[in-house]
Structure 1
Amino acid sequence: MNDCLFFGSNQNPILIKNEPNKITKPIQFKFENENENENENEKQIKQILSNKFSIIFLFKNGKAIEYLSEKGSKQNTEKIQIENIQKVTVDIVSGWDSIYLLTSNQNVYGIGSNEYGQLGFDSETLKETEKPILMMKNVSKIFSGNSSNHVFLLNSNQELFGCGYKSYGQLGLGESRKK
């Protein structure tokens, strides 16, 4: 059974259980209004991403919400508002099982798995986190492939930093498992 999120004019997603395991044609979206007092920017989606366990919505007001499937369980899906992290989120990228948030004050926060050091910390020290952790300051852009376990951070001096899985040399340092 696949979980599907349906959303539309008020931009508030509803989780719908769907069978069989694939959708072969478009389905009419349904809406649920959670808060009548929301302003227009709180209702408008700026960006949508998905990864191995979740789908993430970034709204125009900088609020980020993650719909998380419990470690891949399609039976238990919960809505999580990503906690307020000093400033509004201006960009999000997603790796295979990690999320990266860039804030208006140019800080990057990571959430999720750190198995290969993709959150910028030694994987022996930090395996994963459910709360955003500060990875780096003074960042102007973040890049990550949807199915990757690495991330690139570009600072305001146009210096590029990378961390995470590098088995094929994708971080520019030759081949090995972690860096």
Structure 2
Amino acid sequence: MNEIIFFGLNEYPKLFKNEPEKITKPIQFKFENENENENENENENENENENENENENENENENENENENENENENENENENENEKQIKQISSGYSGTIFLFKNGKAIEYLNENYSNQNPSKIQIEENIQKVTVGYQNEAILTIEGNVFAKGKEINSENTKEFINISSLIEDTNDRTIEDIVSGRNSIYLLTSNQNAYGIGSNYYGQLGFDSGILTKTEKPILIMKNVSKIFTGNSSNNIFLLNLNQELFGCGNNEYGQLGLGESRKDGIIQKLTQNTKYSKRQNN
């Protein structure tokens, strides 16, 4: 803004509309410099352009973020869809077959009178990490360390619904399960405390007790402590246990020398079979 002092003729066209034609006393006249106006206009335009650019950049960033989120969601959905289709494990036995998928869900085909059955989804809220199928039983190990099972000799009703058998362990501090295996009519559990339990039939002493005293149990019973690994076959009536000192033990049916012992027995006595035993997990190509 500029200021000048003016007096003199104020003829047509009047410089000052509200003043007489002849100004005898100096008056103060304020006016805006065109350059200043231009600069101000330019600054305003620049500010407007900057704001527009900022808005455009913000919109672009928002669009980029939206696109990134959409891409992430699409990738997550694709991964979920892939995991729904990709099989992690298959376990099969006389009672049926279970397919475990990478998304932690599983379906089962039940062998009822040797007829082809439609698959049914296993209704367990927790994600599954391992499944086992024995001769007439099925067991499921969840990510949380719980074991759900069903089948013959598992309970008095031979239920067709999965029940949480790990919750039946008497020691409440020993209910987190790391591994499971299924025998013919028995299921074996390995806890995070390195203790091995068994549930089901003990007809051949496969639970580590004399079959003349105990024929079956509906609650997991302790077989052996300090165990690093458990093994059995899905039609087997014996159990093999590798302890923390790499010593292999076994008990159960030895009618055909399955335990490597020289006599047939089912007294449930756990026998040391070998020492300095190395276990190596087979790697799939």
TM-score normalised by structure 1 residue count: 0.76
Q: Is 1:108 the counterpart of 2:196 in the alignment? A: yes
Q: In structure 2, do the counterparts of structure 1 residues 162 and 19 end up closer, same or farther at CA, with 3 Å as the change threshold?
A: closer
Task: Indicate the residue corresponding to 2:258 in structure 1.
Answer: 170
Equivalent residues of 1:10, 1:31 under 8 A apart:
no
5+ residue gaps, structure 1, are 36-41
Q: For residues 122 and 265 of structure 2, what CA distance do their matches in structure 1 show?
A: 44
Task: Indicate the residue corresponding to 2:105 in structure 1.
Answer: 11
Q: For residues 232 and 205 of structure 2, what CA distance do their matches in structure 1 show?
A: 14
Q: For residues 205 and 119 of structure 2, what CA distance do their matches in structure 1 show?
A: 40
Task: Indicate the residue corresponding to 2:65 in structure 1.
Answer: none
Q: For residues 169 and 18 of structure 1, what CA distance do their matches in structure 2 show?
A: 30
Q: Is 1:49 the counterpart of 2:132 in the alignment? A: yes
Q: In structure 2, do the counterparts of structure 1 residues 153 and 5 end up closer, same or farther at CA, with 3 Å as the change threshold?
A: closer
Task: Indicate the residue corresponding to 2:146 in structure 1.
Answer: 63
Query: Please, which of 139, 150, 156 is the counterpart of residue 244 of structure 2?
Result: 156
TM-score normalised by structure 2 residue count: 0.50
Deviates more, 1:106-115 or 1:85-94: 85-94
Pairwise CA distance, 1:28? 5.9
Pairwise CA distance, 1:94? 0.9
The letter for the 2-side match of 1:21 is Y
Pairwise CA distance, 1:177? 4.1
Write the mapping of 1:31-46 to structure 2, written as runs, cut at 5 A. 42-43=126-127, 45-46=128-129
Deviates more, 1:86-95 or 1:154-163: 86-95
Task: Indicate the residue corresponding to 1:117 in structure 2.
Answer: 205
Query: Which structure has more RCO (C-alpha within 8 Å, separation ≥ 6)?
Result: 1
Pairwise CA distance, 1:50? 1.2
Structure 1: 4+ residue segments shifted above 4 A: 2-10, 15-20, 27-32
Pairwise CA distance, 1:17? 7.8
Query: Please, which of 116, 134, 146 is the counterpart of residue 23 of structure 1?
Result: 116
Name the % identity: 52
Q: For residues 163 and 82 of structure 1, what CA distance do their matches in structure 2 show?
A: 22
Task: Identify the structure with the greater helix proportion.
Answer: 2
Pairwise CA distance, 1:30? 4.5
Q: For residues 112 and 59 of structure 1, what CA distance do their matches in structure 2 show?
A: 20
Task: Indicate the residue corresponding to 2:166 in structure 1.
Answer: 83
5+ residue gaps, structure 2, are 1-94, 268-285
Give deviations 1:132-173, integer Å, cap 9, x for gaps: 001111000001011110000000001111000001112121
The letter for the 1-side match of 2:209 is F
Equivalent residues of 2:100, 2:131 under 8 A apart:
no
Task: Identify the structure with the greater strand proportion.
Answer: 1
Across the aligned residues of Structure 1 and Structure 2, the Cα RMSD in angstroms comes to 3.1
Give deviations 1:84-126, integer Å, cap 9, x for gaps: 2424111001110100000010000000000010000111111
Q: For residues 112 and 236 of structure 2, what CA distance do their matches in structure 1 show?
A: 28
The letter for the 2-side match of 1:22 is S
> In the comparison of the two structures, how many residue pairs are matched?
164
